[in-house]
Copies of this chain bind each other. A is one copy, B any other.
Amino acid sequence: MKPTNQLVNPMLTDFYQITMAYAYWKARVHEEEAVFELFFRKNPFGGEFAIYAGLEEKLRLLEHFHFTEEHIAYLKEKIPHAEKGFFDWLKSVDCSGMKIYAMKEGTVAFPRVPLMRVQGPIAIGQMLETSVLTLTNYPSLMTTNSAKYRLAVGFEKGLIEFGLRRAQGPDGGVSASRYSYMGGFDGTSNVLAGYLFDVPIRGTHAHSYVQSFTGIEDLKDHTLEAADGEKHDFVNMVLETRNQLGFNNTNEGELAAFITYAQAFPQGFLALVDTYDTLKSGVPNFICVALSLLRIGYKPIGVRLDSGDLSYLSRGARRMFDAIGNKTDPNLSKCTILVSNEINRAVLTSLGLQGHEIDTFGIGTHLVTCDDQPAMGCVYKLVEARGIPRIKLSQELNKMTIPGKKEAYRLFSADGHSLIDLMIKAGDKPPEPGMRVLCHHPFDPIKRVYVTPASVVPLHHCVWDGKRIYPEIVLKELRDYVLNQLKSTREDHLRDINPTPYKVSVSEQLYNYVYHLWTEESPVRELK
């Protein structure tokens, strides 16, 4: 499969990856084996978890990692003094010499545990850096954000992503829809995301649709076929209902708009009710049309509120459905209430405290731009070259990298909750169910814990060995995987306010190895 976006190709990179590739080539070390690891240092949104996403698109990039003649011509122009041999090499570059391990797409992930390990010729591993980061950061951020929205409303409420118009570009919009579904949303308004990834799509009508009608005289066709095929004067039925209910002062253009929308979608009638006045016009007009639909055998869906006090208005609408439903058709009470309008997690929490009658939330801007923290800070670090572990020293402890090739395991308790993640040196003996293992904090010599896991799950899988090994997984399955993990992670790690940090650890051997390397490499500074 090709990358979803044709902009994803080897040119989607920082220029320094190319200049470094040339310098490696010139120094004749470009084919030397190197190991890079992809990880993040801090969970996003002030939380204590993240979800790893974007593996599928990275594998597609690897499958098509090839510079075209046009690419090469452009690069020659930009490095005019570079030797021809370099461009010949660049033209031959592909990922057939790479070996890559990664977490499964959709895995709940924690700081410092590698999401991916990239092994192969250093110049190629280097050139992959930028696109690997771009194809990880936003997908993971977006999936995590949407999981946090899902946790905020619980697993029962409807959640629809509405953000395409405010997303950071077309690809931002399409990725937002894809990864919000993966993170637990139920669907999207984005048609292209539906078309490309089979995300369920949802949509009704806008204010402009309502405004485009001025009155009943706009209606060219007054009829509607009932569910049983019989033709009715639907306009007349609606106007009679309106009369009976005494809703004669509602906006007539709005009523006309609802009638035409019901004529087009008799089985899917959902009306936007806040164009003029939600409780005085929109909801009454909806009720007139909905009762008429019920009379001829259709089930109306409900209303959408896009402004005003959503708690108050949803309760007002529900009261009207119930009161009038009681006197007419009880099915009216089953109509649902969908709300939108600048909803974020804080609004969801506040609505929960106020009480409301909302069934489904439509969430746009705040979800898709991740405005709490619009970038994830994944990094891609060299941990080994020519078999020698590499360190980047840093004044800040939490910016230190853990050198060398690592494997990671998730250790579970008997009741199925994840207890701790444990990193070991690649090739060391993995932890085993029922066996007590000493787990060290990666940096703090005092923090250690013995763990006897009931079960052990390896987090890293070979996804690429010269060619793609990891299968393509349909999005719906990835969504199930994410939701299942959220249910098997302790609630206190997931909560929004004051979550408990999840433990990430290293084995005793790895701790000692790293400690030795650090103290050996790190000079004692002099203060004078």
Contacts and interface: CB of A to CB of B under 8 A. Distances in A.
Interface of A: 4-9, 11-20, 22-29, 34, 36, 71, 74-75, 78, 81-82, 122, 126, 129-131, 133-135, 137-139, 162, 164-175, 189-192, 194-195, 201-209, 211-212, 214, 218-221, 260-261, 263-265, 267, 275-277, 307-308, 365, 369-371, 373-377, 381-382, 385, 388, 390-395, 523, 525
Contacts of A22: 264-265
A243 to B, nearest CB: 20
B134 A167 contact: yes
24 contacts: A5-B5, A6-B6, A11-B191, A13-B164, A13-B191, A14-B191, A15-B190, A17-B203, A18-B191, A20-B208, A23-B261, A23-B263, A26-B221, A26-B260, A27-B218, A138-B167, A138-B168, A138-B169, A169-B169, A207-B381, A208-B381, A212-B382, A276-B393, A307-B394
B385 A190 contact: no
Contacts of A394: 307
A128 to B, nearest CB: 12
B204 A16 contact: yes
B374 A170 contact: no
Contacts of A391: 211
A482 to B, nearest CB: 19
Contacts of A78: 194, 201
B189 A16 contact: yes
Contact of A369 (B28, B82, B375): B375
Contacts of A189: 14-16
A202 B79 CA distance: 11
A458 B87 CA distance: 50
A522 to B, nearest CB: 10
Contacts of A206: 16-17, 20, 126, 129
A14 to B, nearest CB: 4
Contacts of A382: 207-208, 211-212
B8 A170 contact: yes
A126 B221 CA distance: 22
A482 B232 CA distance: 60
Contact of A392 (B24, B75, B207): B207
A175 B165 contact: no
Contacts of A204: 16, 19
A409 to B, nearest CB: 27
A26 B207 CA distance: 18
A220 B167 contact: no
B263 A205 contact: no
A48 to B, nearest CB: 22
Contact of A205 (B20, B75, B219): B20
A22 B395 CA distance: 62
